[in-house]
Amino acid sequence: MGHRALGDSAVNAAGGLQVVAVGASPFTYTNQSQSTELLYVSQPASSTGTFAKNGVALAALTTPAATAMTVPILLNPGQAFTYTYSAGAPTMSRDVL
């Protein structure tokens, strides 16, 4: 694999954001690519979620009514992230850097 820097505008491995299907809670996503990925998790209004990376708790989030929030998660190749949520249909997308 060649060497490159994050943000290298000459390389766009994935061609932009890709939607990730979020399964039942708790949902675990593992970066199986050869590149660093930036995940965007959108938590719906009036729900509670916890975020953990490789088994380490990162944050707990409660969204107020009528307000959705997006949380960015950076994953290197082979790293895993677990999202546990209470209700609603969260959405997630990924950007291969």
**pLDDT, mean over the chain:** 85
Judge whether residue 68 has pLDDT over 90.
no
85 domain residue, yes or no: yes
1 domain residue, yes or no: no
78 domain residue, yes or no: yes
Count other Cβ atoms within 10 Å, centred on residue 2.
Answer: 4
92 domain residue, yes or no: yes
Exposure pattern of 14-46 as b/e (b: 16+ CB <10 Å)? eeeeeebebeeeebebebebebebebebbbbee
Residue 1: pLDDT band (50, 70, 90) is: very low
8 domain residue, yes or no: no
Domain around 37: 18-96
Residue 59: pLDDT band (50, 70, 90) is: confident
Residue 88 one-letter amino acid: G
13 domain residue, yes or no: no
What is the domain count for the chain?
1
Q: How far apart are CA 23 and CA 21, in angstroms?
A: 6
34 domain residue, yes or no: yes
